Structure 1
Amino acid sequence: MRSTTPLTKIIMMANVLVVAVALIGLLVLPSASAPPGAPRQGVAVSGPPPTSSASPSPTPDLPSAELPPPITASAEFARQVKANEAGAVPILMYHRITRKRLASIDRTPAQVRKELERLARDGYVPVTAREFATGRMDIPAGKYPVVLTFDDGHPSHFALEADGTPVKDTAVGIIYQVAVKYPGFRPVATFWVNQHPFGLREEKDQERAVQWLVSRGFEVANHTWSHPHLPSLPKKKIVEQLARVERLLKRLGVPPSETMALPFGAMPRKRSTVQSGKWRDVSYRFKGVFLAGAEPSVSPFVKGHDRRAIQRIQSNGRKGECRKWCSDYWLGWLDKHPGERYTADGDPERISIPDRLRGSIRADQRKKINAY
């Protein structure tokens, strides 16, 4: 992946453009309706009661998110699978999933399904944003990590049928459909939520929803309380926005957020405000802060990785501002440049890379280098 100074400026400009489009799409247009069969706002999510066990009862017949047993990768094995854990990782950004797109950042169920099936066929295995940020992308050797992220906790992301299975055209429903069709496609994703996760108003319904997801390997984390434009707020208001979500998630039984996504991808002037803070008796500290675009992220093991501003890719085609900056373009680019893509070695204790990339690994990770 290219990394010259002029490109960096272009990327930042593209990110600003993505932010502008998101502002228009989310602030001006009305909220899209939930997919057919999804519960209305304030209506209880059907399904099992919340539980802290790994598999709530009754358990729908759904694929597991468990990772394969770890292996020990030798230099020769890493060469055979063409491992490159200094490569680029696509982190895809989704918003509403609607039958009729009302904004450029909306996607239809068919578009999401098509993109996820493409990822599965091409050898990508989903990991959560938390797993990416902490460097625990322990997927099978020779496979490529991809991070599926969904902003705003929209009703189209998650809802359950009366039998406890995900509604077909929600994000979770589509992810499981693809996982059934392609068994190597791990059914996990990250949902960054606001004050009403998945459009639910009653706390008992919110609790049931997030517990269902977290118990199955999905990540539910912080996207601010009311989705404001953070650069427009004073520091104390930014801290309150983040802490209030942490307080809610704690009540719902979710572990403290290790990641957060900036509303509209807009970074406050003082970055440290969104990295850690305390409001009243609630504190937060994130290991990864995510932007809104506009290229694959560098590996968390390399020197250029900035956990305070992690790049994402908007899920979209190649029209308008997406001609070079959205998922269809970048997935094609990575396919044409496989040497630039993160390829796993299957070994959580080693960072396998071609020998020429030794100098790219962060100093605190060099003891793990397995070069070939």
Structure 2
Amino acid sequence: MKKKIISSIIIILAFTLMGCSKEQQEITPKENDTTFEEALPEEENIQQEEASQPVVEINYEEVMPYEAGHIMVVMYHGIEDRPPYHRTEADFIKDLNFMYDHGYRLISMEDYKNSNISIPAGFTPIVLTFDDGLSSTFSLEEVGGNLVPKKGTAIYLIEEFSKAHPDFGKEAILFINGGKGAFEGAGTYEERLKWLVDNGYQIGNHTNTHPKLSQLTGEQVQEEIGKVDTLIKSALPGYVVDTITYPHGIRPEDAYRQFVVNGTYEGNPYQYSLGFREGPSGPMVAPIHIDFDPYNCPRVRGSEGEEGDLEWWLNYYENHKDVKYISDGNPNRIAVPSESKDKVNVEKLNDYELYLY
């Protein structure tokens, strides 16, 4: 649930729908007697019920939320026995279990970008990313006439884990290259991407041929980004693609970095909000932090055994909880300790309350 959506619903319910139950949601008025519950799909009713729950005030001195703190964005590739860029099935499940048991909750890249982080008080958001469009990351197989995630793929494992731990969340973004070979398996290219989006996942751009962008001209950078941008939008009409991961973690030369933000390829314009590298290219602060650099975002390699990998950072934050993002559970606030007031980019607060304690 996005913070602004929640806030708008609460206001509308309070002033225009007096007497209606908390499970009801605002919809366009219709000239019939259809009730709110009848007009909405069952899933939307469930989501509205969750959104309508009253905000529980916490003891800020006990929880010590820090909503400008570090948020890990984890870089995975496939579910294969080829470390350090790939994870075995057992190791990936181990990662998910550790995250869950130590207070991490999945959020989408969209909510990360917009600081719409609605997780319970005391918990920490985390974002999962997968590069290269590998079939071991996601592919479909036909079961009983239906296309479903193939067993053993990363998306299948996330789906199964979320069934056992529904409060963990079910979010990830998958970055693909050019051509229609991504997520090879059953179904067409369009059906594979559509399944992901229909089931709450996101698609991002990983360039056409996976080059070192620093070796390309401005025109070539636009071609690398624009080809994949057009490909995704052709497969998913109306879909917004606004996040890119740089191949090898390498950005274009300074003179051409403007073409990451926006550009044109064969008459088709594109525009991007976030660009991710590999490793600690900068501080892993939240997007609301004054030092956040949207086109130089760091990612943590999903592996273990080396300094700076996922295992290393998970252990680091166990011993440095004061620097990581901790939620206050209030979707309408950005809460930080008083001494961290200057760490918040107030220009990005929009309608959120800056709460100091």
What band does the TM-score fall into relative to the shorter chain?
A: 0.7 to 0.9
What amino acid is aligned across from residue 252 of structure 1 in structure 2? A
1:86 to 54, 68, 77: 68
Alpha-carbon shift at residue 314 of structure 1 (Å): 0.3
Residue number in structure 2 paired with 1:371: 356
Aligned residues of 2:116 and 2:331 also touching (Cα < 8 A): yes
Q: What is the CA–CA distance in structure 2 between the aligned matches of 1:123 and 1:181, rounded to whole Å?
A: 16
2:227 to 244, 257, 267: 244
Structure 1 stretches of at least 4 aligned residues deviating more than 6 Å after TM superposition = 64-67
2:123 to 128, 134, 143: 143
What amino acid is aligned across from residue 216 of structure 2 in structure 1? L
1:220 to 180, 203, 214: 203
What aligned pairs does 1:203-352 form with structure 2 within 5 A after superposition?
205-253=188-236, 255-270=239-254, 271-294=257-280, 297-318=284-305, 322=306, 324-352=307-335
131 and 120 in structure 1: CA distance in 2 versus 1, 3 angstrom threshold? same
Q: What is the CA–CA distance in structure 2 between the aligned matches of 1:93 and 1:285, rounded to whole Å?
A: 22
Aligned residues of 1:83 and 1:353 also touching (Cα < 8 A): yes
Alpha-carbon shift at residue 348 of structure 1 (Å): 3.0
70 and 304 in structure 1: CA distance in 2 versus 1, 3 angstrom threshold? farther
243 and 138 in structure 1: CA distance in 2 versus 1, 3 angstrom threshold? same
Aligned residues of 2:77 and 2:86 also touching (Cα < 8 A): yes
Residue number in structure 2 paired with 1:7: none
Q: What is the CA–CA distance in structure 1 between the aligned matches of 2:181 and 2:52, rounded to whole Å?
A: 34
What amino acid is aligned across from residue 284 of structure 2 in structure 1? S
Residue number in structure 2 paired with 1:119: 99
67 and 305 in structure 1: CA distance in 2 versus 1, 3 angstrom threshold? farther
Aligned residues of 1:246 and 1:256 also touching (Cα < 8 A): no
228 and 67 in structure 1: CA distance in 2 versus 1, 3 angstrom threshold? farther
Residue number in structure 1 paired with 2:137: 157
66 and 172 in structure 1: CA distance in 2 versus 1, 3 angstrom threshold? farther
Tell me if 1:131 matches 2:111: yes
TM-score of the aligned structures, taking structure 2 as reference length: 0.78
Alpha-carbon shift at residue 197 of structure 1 (Å): 5.3
CA displacement 1:1-26 (0-9 Å, x = unmatched): xxxxxxxxxxxxxxxxxxxxxxxxxx
**Which SS does the other structure have where 1:150 is aligned?**
strand
2:182 to 175, 198, 209: 198
Alpha-carbon shift at residue 265 of structure 1 (Å): 0.4
> Per chain length, whose mean CA-contact separation is higher, i.e. which structure has more relative contact order (CA < 8 Å, sep 6+)?
1
Report which stretch shifted further, 299-308 or 192-201. Answer: 192-201
What amino acid is aligned across from residue 369 of structure 1 in structure 2? L
Report which stretch shifted further, 222-231 or 293-302. Answer: 293-302
Aligned residues of 1:89 and 1:298 also touching (Cα < 8 A): yes
Q: What is the CA–CA distance in structure 2 between the aligned matches of 1:66 and 1:165, rounded to whole Å?
A: 27
Q: What is the CA–CA distance in structure 1 between the aligned matches of 2:58 and 2:175, rounded to whole Å?
A: 40
CA RMSD of aligned residues (A): 2.7
Q: What is the CA–CA distance in structure 1 between the aligned matches of 2:269 and 2:76, rounded to whole Å?
A: 28
247 and 316 in structure 1: CA distance in 2 versus 1, 3 angstrom threshold? same
Q: What is the CA–CA distance in structure 2 between the aligned matches of 1:272 and 1:361, rounded to whole Å?
A: 26
336 and 277 in structure 1: CA distance in 2 versus 1, 3 angstrom threshold? same
Aligned residues of 2:221 and 2:259 also touching (Cα < 8 A): yes
What amino acid is aligned across from residue 302 of structure 1 in structure 2? H
Alpha-carbon shift at residue 80 of structure 1 (Å): 4.8
Larger radius of gyration: 2
What amino acid is aligned across from residue 319 of structure 2 in structure 1? K
Alpha-carbon shift at residue 368 of structure 1 (Å): 2.7
TM-score of the aligned structures, taking structure 1 as reference length: 0.75
Aligned residues of 2:56 and 2:329 also touching (Cα < 8 A): no
261 and 291 in structure 1: CA distance in 2 versus 1, 3 angstrom threshold? same
What amino acid is aligned across from residue 354 of structure 2 in structure 1? I
**Which SS does the other structure have where 1:335 is aligned?**
helix
2:90 to 84, 103, 110: 110
226 and 207 in structure 1: CA distance in 2 versus 1, 3 angstrom threshold? same
Residue ranges of structure 1 left out of the alignment (5+ in a row): 1-53
**Which SS does the other structure have where 1:162 is aligned?**
strand
Q: What is the CA–CA distance in structure 1 between the aligned matches of 2:117 and 2:181, rounded to whole Å?
A: 26
Residue ranges of structure 2 left out of the alignment (5+ in a row): 1-39
